[in-house]
Amino acid sequence: MKEVLGKHKKLIISSACVIVSLIIIVIIAFFATASFAESSSIGKQNAENFAFVDAGIDPIEAKKLKTEFEFKNGQFIYDVEFESNGTEYEYWIKASNGSIIKKEADVSDEFVNQKEQENNNQVVENEVKNELSENIEKNTTENNNNTESSNSKTNNNTNSNTSNKTESSKETNTTNIISLDSAKIEVLTDAKVSASKCTFTKAKLELDDGIQIYDMEFHTADNEYEYEVDAKTGAILNKEIEPIKKNKSTSSPTTTAKPSNNNSSYIGVDKAKSIALNHAGVSNVTFEKAKLDRENGKTVYEIEFYKDRMEYSYEIDALTGKILDYDKDYDD
């Protein structure tokens, strides 16, 4: 009996050791894979540059920048987070080629609180002005009552007109909101989108927690936008930007982007990559560099990638998509 129990005990211990060993092997293999994926990736700096270019943010303006190499949804990514102009951004950049997997942009609580405080201060200021106006009206009425009776009718009519104007002024203050067209201009300016290149699917005035807001939704050929705008101040309270998923085909020709009068309307790093790949006639490449830069007074995208030991380098006009310079060398 003791021998049987001893054998079972040894068997259990041996099985446990095997399981622990397998777990350790799996962990070691994962970390080895992660280490290799990071060493062969586009790099932390390039991932941040891709996020800044897509957001239209100068890297100098980015605050609270945090970038981490992570494994999400079955792939290795760089999780890039930063703040700029009261907006919090989060990007998932694919570590192997720099493509954008996910992006979010939300107005920070600090910025919203600041706008609410400014709005409250404006309300208090309006109340003080109204109170002063009422006191002036009251004093004027009392003085008019002491005038000669021959002028009483004229003075009463004057007081009545003054009272009506004051009442009308108060009513205007309580309904003083920006127009729907003004709200549209605010969101299009923030999104850096031309009115001719977008379609509004929703634009209406709503009441949210006692605050009048314009709830807006629109889309371009590349992105979907959702905005909430303070109807009184025009401040952007919340915004979300989601890229529209498209079926990519390397066989389809890439058209050159038209020039824009707005210097911030760049074609985007993904478009620049596509132009370079179509010109080179290759696909499934490894990108070494894809960033926004200045060359000879022009804003350009510098694109570098490898394919079958051939190194390609391109300079592409950030506004028009025109190829300004390109080269390819065989890597010995």
Does residue 263 fall inside a structural domain?
Answer: no
Q: Is residue 248 part of a domain?
A: no
Indicate the residue among 158, 174, 190 that finishes a domain.
Answer: 174
Contact 290, 303 (CB under 8 A): yes
CA geometry: angle at 53 spanning 50 and 56, to 5°? 150
pLDDT confidence bin for 118, thresholds 50/70/90: confident
51 and 93 in contact (C-beta within 8 Å)? yes
The per-residue DSSP string of 218-264 comes to EE-SSEEEEEEEETTT--EEEEEEEEPP----TTSPPPPPPP-SSTT
Per-residue pLDDT reduced to its tens digit, 84-100: 988 999 999 999 999 99
Same domain, 238 and 146: no
pLDDT digits (tens, 9 = 90+) for 16-39: 888 988 899 888 878 888 898 899
68 and 29 fall within a common domain: yes
Shared domain for 33 and 19, answered yes or no, is yes
Residue 252 belongs to a domain: no
For residue 158, give Cα distances in angstroms to 11, 154, 162, 164, 165. 106, 6, 6, 10, 11
Summarised one tens digit per residue, pLDDT across range 64-75 is: 899 999 999 999
- Whether 255 maps to a domain, the answer reads no
3-class DSSP state of 38: helix
End-of-domain residue from the set 104, 130, 154: 104
The overall average pLDDT reported for the chain is 81
- Residues 153, 183, single domain; the answer is no
Same domain, 94 and 125: no
C-alpha to C-alpha distance for 169 and 175, rounded to whole angstroms: 10
Residue 19, SS3 per DSSP: helix
**Is 257 inside a domain boundary?**
no
Give the CATH number of the domain where residue 307 resides. Answer: 3.10.450.40
Note the pLDDT of residue 225.
Answer: 94
Residue 182 has pLDDT above 50, yes or no: yes
Q: What is the pLDDT of residues 271-324, one digit of tens each?
A: 999 999 999 999 999 998 999 988 888 899 999 999 988 999 999 999 999 999
Residue 253 lies in a domain: no
Both 18 and 30 in a single domain? yes
Residue with tokens 């949804």: 73
Structure tokens at 191: 């999104």
pTM: 0.30
Q: Is 251 part of any domain?
A: no
Domain membership of residue 61 as a residue range: 2-104
Helix (H) or strand (E) holding 110: helix 109-145
- My answer on whether 12 and 83 are in the same domain is yes
Instruction: Return the ∠ at Cα 65 (arms to 64 and 67), rounded to 5°.
Output: 140
Looking at residue 163, what is its pLDDT?
A: 47
User: What pLDDT, on a 0 to 100 scale, did the predictor assign at position 260?
Assistant: 39
Identify which has the larger pLDDT, 77 or 254.
Answer: 77
State the average pLDDT over residues 35-55.
Answer: 92
User: For the chain, what is the domain count?
Assistant: 4
